Chain A
Amino acid sequence: MQQPSPIPIFDRAPLDELNEVGGPELIRELVELFFSETPGIISELEGAIISEDWDIMGRAAHTLKSISYYLGALILSDLGRMIEATSTSPSPEAGKNFAGHAANAFDQVKRELRTFVSTLPE
């Protein structure tokens, strides 16, 4: 399966802006929160696809889109955007084509974020 989007996995610009207003401590907390929240959202997304509940799929995708963007996880955010758009389209089942990439994208983003956090001052 091809990647659905040429968007980069990670962009540090949103985190740099947050760092300016909240400092490294905020970034660390957000990354922890992102690591703990995202698996649940992806599971919800996958469950909604299995049960063909497109409302839940759209809502989970909406959340994924939003939380990923703040952390610079552009590829996940874009996947969320596409799945959300699909949820209200005439063929919402197409959402599973995108959702299949979510877990893998999350793993890649985790690596990038860990590297980013390791560069932050204590």
Chain B
Amino acid sequence: MSSIFDQLKSTGRLPSPSGVGARILALTQDENATVDDVSQVLQRDPALTGRIMRVANSAQKAGAVPLSTPKEAAMRLGMRSVSSIAVGFTLVSAHRNGHCDGFDYNAYWSKSVATAVAAQELARLINPEGAPEAFTAGLVLGIGRLALASAQPRAYEALLSRWQGGLPELRELEQGAFGIDHSEVGESLIRDWGMPMRVSHAIRAALTVPEDAQTKESLQLARILETASYLATKHIGIDSALPGEDGALLERLERMGVSAVEFLDCFDPLVREWRELGSDMQIAPLPPFDDTVALGAEAEEERSHSPFVLVVDDDPISLKILSNCLRRGGFDVAATCHPQEAIALAIQYEPAVLITDWMMPEMDGLSLCRALRRCEAGRRLFIMVLTGIEEETACMQAFDAEADDFIRKPFSPKEMLARVQVGVRLSQAQLGLESGGNTVSEASAAESIDDITAADRALGEESGRNMLTGLTNRIFATSRLCGLFEDRSLDSISVVALSIDGLFAATSELGPLLTNEITRRVALCLSSSVRKSDILCTSDTGGFLVLCPSSDLDSATSIAERLRKEVEADAITLEGYHEVVTVSAGVAERSDATPSPAALLQLAEAALEFGAMDGPNQIHPAA
């Protein structure tokens, strides 16, 4: 089993905690690490800190003084508990989407969050100290399925298309296709991350036979997880389901020694917690998640019909008030503090209404509004701009940016709800008009597709991704490099700047279509050649950047040399272009002379530019 797992691992595509989560996991395995170290790392991610505080406080005994800082949480709950919650959350952020078409990533995470809050609540009633660990274990209970979908997306998609329903049947199909099933993959993966054995054993047992758990602790956690998963499947988010009348649930509670009355008292807050956490993590609440049947078209149809509202605001209190009031007003809500994420969510989920704050550090609300109006989904949206700007002209500026409504902060929750209801009605009326027999000519439809493609490309650029290559762009590279610069565990960081030799001259001769294709093919070659630990992005001059953490100048030069050879060996040939495609590279390492990420990027690019005089197909380390 382990060798099959190792093969899956060697694909480099298995889910793993990243960024702050990975750093925290490393700290928990360092016996010299202190509570202060953990809280300092956590503070780099305010959104994550907020989520941890919420879970840490939910796990507290009723009446306990609320925890207000990550340090307090780490001291009260223990470093390992806080860390494991952080690891769980960073996993969600990093693996919210994927490439396996038959795998419903949103439903997967929504159910995982439901399982996590249910497990936490059950554990709180049995052993409050174990509640944070139960939360994390619930969040990663199904990680084996995500891992198989990530490592073998096409094979798993084919497998899912054959699956008729039932978890034992799914495990059987997985064994047939891969020689390993999701319960085994989950157990190995969790152990591989360095999480406690009792958690990995409990997860395997919960997915198969809880009574097979190897220790008393694992058995208790396995039963909690199995019951939590049952609740997530049968009850959470399903208004018609009555947990108090479900004999199978009551039997499970009794087996764990949990008072049914006590648990049922906690059920509504648990469901609210699930909705709020999901909304906070931009996961649409889409039950039912019945794993005993494969999700078909009918189930998709039956999913929530509540109007969907997307909220973006960098102020966490305003975001919380908006989300909470909207949810209580009967809307499905997704909330984010990042405008660029809002663009992606708006295109993917097509909400009826978007409420955006005006002043936000990453992108202001008016720019977001203009960007969205450039694509089809954004044109149909009812957009409300929310602002604390007091100038009278603010309202006119918002309407100039094609906003539909304007609300001043601080807003009255009731007035805001009333305005959203109007927005939903207008949005639905517009949809009705569009689908009500208005024939669109083929020419205008084609025009519209071109328009969307152009807008999507522009939006892609704004959201950090180069649409031609699918790689992240220079803005993203700079941002990642900032993160690497802050990581004190890295003793060296280098950057490789690559350009395709002669491409600029070829553009005027061959035209943009052919040179775009060359760029795309080189991007593919580089993507398959870079190390897993390196980060490949596009530069804004048609070339590429490779960020190499833990690499000094010599090793980064070797990496550049290997990439150069790979591109040359790939022998890219295109009709109408008979030159051998080669790349040159400039390499620079962080030093006192390159104190900032931007300076390091510029140094690598300068090395490339100066070296170009020596001819093509060469590597130029910075002096």
Binding site for B on A (CB under 8 A): 14, 17-18, 20-22, 25-26, 28-30, 32-37, 40, 59, 62-63, 65-67, 69-71, 77, 122
Contact = CB atoms under 8 A, between A and B. Distances in A.
A-B interface, 5 closest residue pairs, ranked by CB to CB distance from nearest: A69-B410, A67-B317, A36-B68, A21-B413, A35-B68
Contact of A18 (B66, B321, B388): B321
B336 to A, nearest CB: 16
Contacts of B46: 40
The dominant DSSP class at the A interface is helix
A29 B325 CA distance: 13
Nearest to A23: B328
B324 A22 contact: yes
Contacts of A37: 316-317
A22 B328 contact: yes
B22 interface: no
B413 A30 contact: no
Contact of B317 (A25, A28, A30): A30
B466 to A, nearest CB: 30
Contact of B315 (A18, A67, A71, A122): A67
19 contacts: A14-B410, A17-B413, A21-B325, A21-B413, A26-B321, A26-B324, A28-B66, A29-B54, A30-B320, A32-B68, A33-B317, A33-B320, A34-B317, A37-B316, A59-B359, A63-B314, A66-B315, A71-B317, A122-B62
A77 B388 CA distance: 11
Given A40-B46, A67-B315, 17 more contacts: A14-B410, A17-B413, A18-B413, A20-B414, A21-B325, A21-B329, A22-B321, A22-B413, A25-B269, A30-B317, A35-B68, A37-B316, A62-B359, A67-B316, A67-B318, A70-B318, A70-B410
A70 B321 contact: yes
B388 A62 contact: yes
Contacts of B68: 32, 35-36
A98 B168 CA distance: 66
Interface string B327-351: 0110000000000000000000000
A62 B361 CA distance: 12
B57 A32 contact: yes
Nearest to B329: A21
B389 to A, nearest CB: 8
B53 interface: yes
A97 to B, nearest CB: 21
Given A22-B324, A22-B325, A66-B388, A33 B359 contact: no
A66 B413 contact: no
Interface in B446-488: none
Interface string B25-59: 00000000000000000000010011001100100
Contacts of B388: 62, 65-66
Contacts of B57: 32
Q: Which of B46, B316, B412 counts the most chain A CB atoms within 10 A?
A: B316
B430 interface: no
A14 B409 CA distance: 12
B321 A30 contact: yes
Contact of A33 (B316, B325, B414): B316
A18 B317 CA distance: 12
A66 B318 contact: yes
